[in-house]
Every structure is written in C-alpha cells, then in structure tokens.
Structure 1
C-alpha cells in the first residue's frame, strides 16, 4: 500500500473538522504508549537499521560507456552518504566524551545542591543542542545525496543493485534522524519510500516497527485536534504495520504474533 493521502489532508488535523466522542478520546489518551510497550525498543540483531551504519564502497554501476554521468552522480552521492555517517559518528563520540568530562568539573562557587542541579541541567541543554545541530548538518548531507541520486534518470541504473542499495542506505539514515527529531510525518513518508524501493526492504521488520510507532503518534495528534477521520485512518495503519512487524520479527506461528494479533483484533 502506498503512503495514504496524508499530506493532502493533514491540515485537517489542525482544523479539527470532526469531533471524537469522549469515550474514544478517553480510551486512547489513557494508553498513549501502548505500541511502545509491546514492541522492541531497538532494531533486531543484524539489521541494517542497527547502531553501526553500513557504508558502501565506490564501485562501477554498469559497464556502459553512456552511463558515465550516472556513475559520477552515484559516486558523489556515496561520498555524501559516507561523509554523513562519519561526521555524525565522530561528532557524537566527541559530545559524549565532553559530557563525561564535564561530570568531573568542580565549581566551588556552587555551594548548594540546587545550584549544582541548575548547572548540570544547563550543561545538558548545551549537549542536546550540539547533538541537534550535528543531526541537522548530517541530514543536510543526506538530502544532498538524495538529490544527486534523483538526477540519475537512466532506468538501467535506477534498477541496479548499487543504486538501490545506496538510496536505501541514505533513506535509513535520514529516517533515523527524523525519528530522533520526532518528525513523525517525515518518518512515515520516507519509510514508505524506503519500502517501495524493493521487496527486500519491505520484508524487513524495522520499517514496520517505525511505522506502527509513528502512526500511533499521529493518532494521538488527531485525537488532540478532534479529527475523527484521520484518527481512524492512522489507527488502522498502525494496526496494519504492527501485525506486519510481528509477522516478520516473530513469525506467524509464534506466541508473540498471536498475542499481538489478539490485541489488534480487540481494536487495539
């Protein structure tokens, strides 16, 4: 299923054209983190979505003379992708080191515990801003890589494994950063794009886990905006991807799949 007509109707969330019943609102708000409570919090072992991002070697796309421009764009996109990964990993390590080092600092002018607490909170805000800025810079490189790949028009290149692997890798990194930013519409949009690239991508469990979580967040937004139409649309999509995740991750014959299917059947 392609991404729903979400961006055409998303403004309805804020307009609040429809009203939810008090029963629906009360029931759903009281269980805001239900999906998070039954899904793993991290990708499965060995998943390309894990902590260690996969970089690709610079390799020829196709052995065709008329593909030189396409190959150059692929190589440039791959450099942006590799640079984005290296920049973020190195930057994050430096921030974590500075965070640990800051714990050893002693400020003798802070005589009371509340003064120390305020200083710790201000320091943490600084580190969070640094991580935010680092993610923003990394996203900029990933978008540049996407744009380079989008300029490749030759159908043979666009169907080749190197092209699909690189585009999949860029999308994965972009999605992970958008999830950290809590930009759930971006997560939903690009996760659908990622799955549409290949049947292999669709058969990974992690995209469906991310979609189930993101659709629940949007479901909550629809509740707060009293938009009944989008509330039910997001709810059904959440259940669909929750089931698909359970099918891939646990297997249809597993007790975990059965338990999740029962929750979905009870209009989870």
Structure 2
C-alpha cells in the first residue's frame, strides 16, 4: 500500500491509540537501525544515484509531438535541472575546500583546549548551515523543474524516453537531498513515484535501499506514536524493499541474498 504524505501525518498523530505489546516494543528498541547495519551505506559505483549526477543533453523530440510548447517546456525543465546540479556541486566543493582550509588555521588567542574545541564546533555548525542552505536552494530549483515538466500535457511526449529520463533525473536529485535532510516521508513518496515511472527505474537497487531505510525510520516513528497498525504496515514495506534490493544488488543465488531472506523470514 502507498500512503499520501498527508495520510502519513494524520495517521501518526491521530489514528489508533492502540499500544504495541511489550514484546514488540522490546524487539524494535533492541534492533534499531538494523537495516542500516546489513545494507551498503552508499550507492553502487557508477550509479546515477552517486555524486556524479546524470546530465541530459537537449534531445530531438519534435518528431513525437504536434505542439512546439512541449519541447520548449522540456528544454526549460532540463535547463533548471542542470543548473540545480551544477550549482550544487560547485558550491559544495567550495564549502568542502573552506572546511579543509579552516583546519589549518591557527588562533593564538585560543590558549586552552576547550577554547579550540568550541571554535571547531562553531566552524562545523557554520559549514553545516551553508550546506543546508545550499540544499534548500537546490531543492527549490528541482521543484521548479518538476513544475515545468508537469505543464507538458501531450500524451506522446509524456510516454517518450526523453521525458521519462528527465523526470527520473529530477526525482533522483530531489530524493538525495530529502534523504540528507532526513525527510523520510518525502523520500518514500518520491522513491515510490520514481519506481513507478519505468521498469528500468524499478530494476535499480538504490531506490529500494532508500525505501527500506526510510520505512524502518517510519516504523520506529509508529512505535513512538503507539500506532500498531502503521507499525506493521511499515514493517512489511521495509521487508519488501529490503528483499528487492538484495535481489538486484547481490542476485537471488548469492549468500548475501540468502542471509537477508533469512532475516526477513524471522520477522526481524
């Protein structure tokens, strides 16, 4: 089952005051982050989900359509998408460079270790805020790219490879930033949409990894909200995507898949 974002919030806050049994609560609390402990922490090498984001060249799609506006909207969306990627990567590298340079700076007025530690922590907070602001700006551009693409109404264009590739790319970048923000509801919503876009997307391991992790986070949130129904729903969805990730990433005949399948079978 797929939940709209609003349903998530309403369910977590208002639905079902049923408490989980002490056995279930103990089981969850003692095995927090277990998905994180058995899955890779980064995408596969060369994956478009990694640091090297996929860029799309302007593609000739006029032969598929009967209105010039569709191509212009695709191009405008692609331009916004590319600008979001380029600006983020350039600014992120600048922040990282400043961060490395700050480690070499010496402040003679800091005579005590606690003074040095406070300065170090303040510097780290400053860089984290810069990165947060950068991600927020990038998300804004990606949303604009989404909106431009959604204005295309021609059915042939919406079924074309250029359209689906661009929409997939925008969703991918958006999901990356929401995952960095720990906005797990957004990750779930858009990762599910991403998978539904094409069979090619569904056959990628990374969206299933992110969904397994995000559903586990929501499973823990359901525990804290004492929502038994959502707890079991999230748990099953977590296991579903965990198995699918293992199947794609390791292969059904691998030892890794067998190990994960065993854990899922034990209702971990």
- The aligned counterpart of 1:8 is 7
- The aligned counterpart of 1:89 is 89
- The aligned counterpart of 1:229 is 229
SS of the residue corresponding to residue 60 of structure 1 reads: coil
Instruction: Output one character per residue of 1:121-146: Cα deviation in whole Å (capped at 9) or x when no partner.
Output: 00000000000000000000000000
Is residue 69 of structure 2 the alignment partner of residue 69 of structure 1?
A: yes
Change (3 A) 1:5 1:68: closer
SS of the residue corresponding to residue 63 of structure 1 reads: helix
Is residue 117 of structure 2 the alignment partner of residue 117 of structure 1?
A: yes
Shifted more, 120-129 versus 40-49: the winner is 40-49
Q: TM-score when scaled to structure 1?
A: 0.97
In the alignment, the residues of structure 2 paired with residue 82 and residue 126 of structure 1 have an alpha-carbon distance, to the nearest angstrom, of 27
Query: Aligned-pair RMSD on alpha carbons?
Result: 1.3
In the alignment, the residues of structure 2 paired with residue 170 and residue 3 of structure 1 have an alpha-carbon distance, to the nearest angstrom, of 21
In the alignment, the residues of structure 1 paired with residue 241 and residue 65 of structure 2 have an alpha-carbon distance, to the nearest angstrom, of 43
Pairwise CA distance, 1:64:
5.2
Aligned residues: 267
Conserved? CA contact 2:65–2:154, under 8 Å: no
- The aligned counterpart of 1:136 is 136
Instruction: Output one character per residue of 1:85-142: Cα deviation in whole Å (capped at 9) or x when no partner.
Output: 0010000000001101111111111110000000000000000000000000000000
Q: TM-score when scaled to structure 2?
A: 0.97
Shifted more, 43-52 versus 219-228: the winner is 43-52
Conserved? CA contact 1:61–1:163, under 8 Å: no
In the alignment, the residues of structure 1 paired with residue 202 and residue 5 of structure 2 have an alpha-carbon distance, to the nearest angstrom, of 20
Uncovered stretches (5+) of structure 2, i.e. residues with no partner: none
Conserved? CA contact 2:65–2:156, under 8 Å: no
Conserved? CA contact 1:61–1:162, under 8 Å: yes
Change (3 A) 1:30 1:224: same
> 4+ residue stretches of structure 1 with deviation over 4 A?
none
Instruction: Output one character per residue of 1:19-61: Cα deviation in whole Å (capped at 9) or x when no partner.
Output: 1111111110111110001001111122221210010011222
